[in-house]
Chains A and B, each alone.
Chain A
Amino acid sequence: MTHSHPSFPDTHHDTSSNTLFGFWIYLMTDFIVFAALFSVYAVMYTGMEGGVAAKDFFHLKSALASTLILLLASFSCGMALLAIPGSRTKTILGFALTFLLGAAFLALEYADFKNLLALGYSWKTNASFSSYFVLIGAHGLHIVFGLLFTLVFILQLLRRGFTDAVIRRLTCLSLFWFFSYFVWIFMFTIVYLIGAS
């Protein structure tokens, strides 16, 4: 046996690419979760005991506004990412804008839910409402965590500047925002456009 020890790459410097790869795997598994929820909705959305379905209450304009807001959020997030590592101010501004737009999106969704609940329809009403609330609520939960970690990473950027770890986390965060927007496109088409037609 020859003993030419391969000069081992220092694992210390390799963690960023591992993290990004791991984050992609997480996103793919999350897609599977959403695929399951979409399938449930596709089966259930006409399943309406009592003759009402969630789709009877859609406002296409509100859904379109949500879509555009989320599009802008992922756009500002992309701009923020482009400013790395040149300008800390631009990056922070970009992510701050993402945060505000994400919060606006969430406010619209909250208003939708509140409206339905005020009319007496909840996830307990029938299969159509259950699948609607779970699908849209799961996406809303992603936005909540996106907002939380946007705040956390803005704070880290302020305190630490562009360290390897901060850049890595911001990259993952932007992937997460793109993911949220990507899933929302399917919600807009499958839930709102098909439901309203």
Chain B
Amino acid sequence: MRFPKIFGFKLNEKYGEYAAYCWNLGFLLAFIPLYILGLMGATRRLDHYDAASGWRPLFIIAAVGVAVIFVGIAFQALQIWVSIKQRKQNRDTTGDPWNGRTLEWSTASPPPFYNFARIPDVTTRDAFWTMKQSKQLEKEPYEDIHMPKNTPLGLFIGLLSFTFAFAIIWFIWWLAIASLIGIVAAIIARLFETHTEVTITAAQLETMEAAR
């Protein structure tokens, strides 16, 4: 649902619908027989069952359901493939492809790095909808935005935390110690950075929003 907001183009709707139908139908076919079987006394994840139990038809229906779900998954894969190939035609240029109600649709797709050019004034639940209904899309002057600068250190700390956790689980002590030293070093490096914030001026915002 948020796909165009994140990637800037819409997914193919036709294959999406096929996937949804297959999933719904497949899910019902796969699980309703299993519920019935459960009531009849079948436990989960049997590797075999007695033919005399008479469960076979229901298990076969469930297997058909699984196949239908698999077709649904295949449609989703196809949908992503086709959508990426046709992304130029499906580009979301407005940022609001489906006449949305909530504020994320008021930004460009994908959103600019500062997210909102102005901090929105929220007075109702669906603020963007209210703005559109009252035709009061914001037209006030921009104000400067203060933002933290990008830093790779958070990513490094995350990766090192992974290797650290992996190392202490598997008793790889050299890796654990190296990762821990790396984490602490990254934190200290961050503490010694001085200019960690950046200001986007109102004039810069004006040009960036106009180019949208």
Give the interface of A toward B (CB within 8 A): 1, 3, 5-6, 8, 10-12, 148, 152, 156, 169
Which of A5, A6, A152 meets B188, CB within 8 Å?
A152
CB contacts (< 8 Å) of A5 on chain B: these are 121, 140
CB contacts (< 8 Å) of B146 on chain A: these are 10-12
Q: How many Å lie between the Cα of A5 and that of B191 in the bound state?
A: 35
- 13 pairs from A and B in contact (CB 8 Å cutoff): A1-B123, A1-B130, A1-B131, A1-B134, A1-B136, A3-B140, A5-B121, A6-B121, A8-B119, A11-B146, A12-B146, A12-B197, A156-B191
Given A3-B136, A5-B140, A8-B143, 7 further pairs, Cβ under 8 A: A1-B121, A1-B130, A3-B140, A6-B121, A12-B146, A12-B197, A156-B191
Which of B119, B184, B197 meets A148, CB within 8 Å?
B184
Q: How many Å lie between the Cα of A1 and that of B184 in the bound state?
A: 50
Q: How many Å lie between the Cα of A152 and that of B192 in the bound state?
A: 9
Q: B137-151 vs A: 1/0 string, CB under 8 Å?
A: 000100100100000
A1-B130, A12-B146 as given contacts; A152 in contact with B191, CB under 8 Å: yes
Give the interface of B toward A (CB within 8 A): 119, 121, 123, 130-131, 134, 136, 140, 143, 146, 184, 188, 191-192, 197
Q: How many Å lie between the Cα of A137 and that of B54 in the bound state?
A: 61
CB contacts (< 8 Å) of B184 on chain A: these are 148
Most chain B CB inside 10 Å of its own CB: which residue of A1, A10, A11: A1
- Closest Cβ of chain B to A12, distance in Å, is 5
- Closest Cβ of chain A to B184, distance in Å, is 7
Q: How many Å lie between the Cα of A10 and that of B144 in the bound state?
A: 10
CB contacts (< 8 Å) of B143 on chain A: these are 8
